[in-house]
């Protein structure tokens, strides 16, 4: 019944991104030093998962949990995410994303093969499945080493080009965490060009997240950041009336110039 309760909470949130767990001390210090502006509340999206398929997945998962515990339930969900039934597949992927957003053990899901399943879903032409898979996939980024070893970074790079602003922000945020430990892998995966392009966004919150991620990269690969074309948009951002944005931009420029 615990799983059912958590699933209910997930769908009461209308499939929005919940807040994630605490970041590394370094990232948190950056956020305290450069406080972000208050984000404009967005209109709640309506759930688009087929209810009958959802009930089927819930019932199967509850039976599995009763028989063999949460581990069995997670395996069952991953298997159902491979279903040939598009509705059942969508429901399973959505539930996996919900559990990951609730800080369920991402490492456990990765160990039972969730990453290849989610990457496969990201290739789908079904917009609903893509959206749910993207949300779930971004949440696995907390397990940095596992994501890198699974070769999943290129798929995460693709999400930087998403037209969904909230998903794009979450992806940039994920890269901020990954780059704090795996800079070389991030650069080799081709993340710099799309990150630099996001510096031209009119969304100031997204720009700040991007500056933070690029700042982590510039600690080790400042020259590569400059060669990716970061300087012109950074010069423009220095003229912003947003003082927090200017401060973050100046820090990144200093890292590049000081290399």
What is the DSSP track for 102-141? TT--HHHHHHTTHHHHHHHHTT-S-HHHHHHHHHHHHHGG
C-alpha span between 46 and 31 (Å, rounded): 31
pLDDT of residue 2: 42
Sign of CA dihedral 129, 115, 95, 140: negative
Structure letter (DSSP) for residue 152: -
Q: Mean pLDDT throughout 164-181? A: 88
At 50-109, the pLDDT tens digits run 555 554 555 555 554 444 556 788 899 999 999 999 999 999 999 999 998 876 678 889
Q: Tell me the pLDDT band of 39, cut-offs 50, 70 and 90.
A: very low
pLDDT of residue 199: 97
C-alpha span between 52 and 23 (Å, rounded): 37
Contact 235, 199 (CB under 8 A): no
Contact 80, 68 (CB under 8 A): no
Domains belonging to the chain, first-starting first, are 1-14+46-142 (no CATH), 144-259 (1.25.10.10)
pTM: 0.69
pLDDT of residue 255: 94
């Amino acid at each position: 019944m615990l799983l059912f309760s958590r699933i209910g909470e997930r769908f009461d949130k209308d499939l929005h991104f919940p807040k994630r767990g605490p970041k590394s001390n370094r990232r948190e210090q950056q956020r305290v030093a450069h406080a972000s502006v208050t984000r404009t509340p967005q209109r709640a999206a309506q759930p688009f998962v087929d209810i009958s398929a959802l009930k089927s997945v819930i019932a199967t998962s509850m039976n599995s949990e009763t028989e063999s515990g949460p581990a069995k339930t997670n395996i069952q969900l991953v298997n159902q995410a491979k279903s040939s039934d598009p509705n059942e597949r969508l429901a399973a992927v959505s539930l996996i994303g919900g559990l990951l957003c609730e800080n369920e053990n991402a490492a456990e899901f990765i160990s039972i093969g969730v990453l290849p399943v989610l990457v496969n879903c990201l290739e789908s032409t079904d917009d609903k499945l893509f959206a749910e898979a993207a949300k779930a996939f971004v949440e696995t980024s907390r397990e940095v080493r596992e994501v890198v070893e699974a070769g999943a970074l290129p798929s995460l790079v693709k999400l930087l080009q998403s037209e969904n602003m909230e998903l794009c922000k979450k992806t940039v945020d994920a890269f901020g965490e990954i780059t704090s430990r795996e800079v070389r892998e991030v650069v080799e995966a081709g993340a710099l060009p799309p990150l630099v392009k996001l510096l031209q966004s009119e969304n100031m919150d997204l720009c700040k997240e991007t500056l933070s991620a690029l700042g982590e990269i510039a600690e080790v690969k400042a020259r590569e950041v400059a060669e990716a074309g970061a300087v012109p948009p950074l010069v423009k951002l220095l003229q912003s009336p947003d003082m927090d944005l200017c401060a973050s931009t100046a820090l990144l420029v200093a890292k590049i110039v000081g290399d």
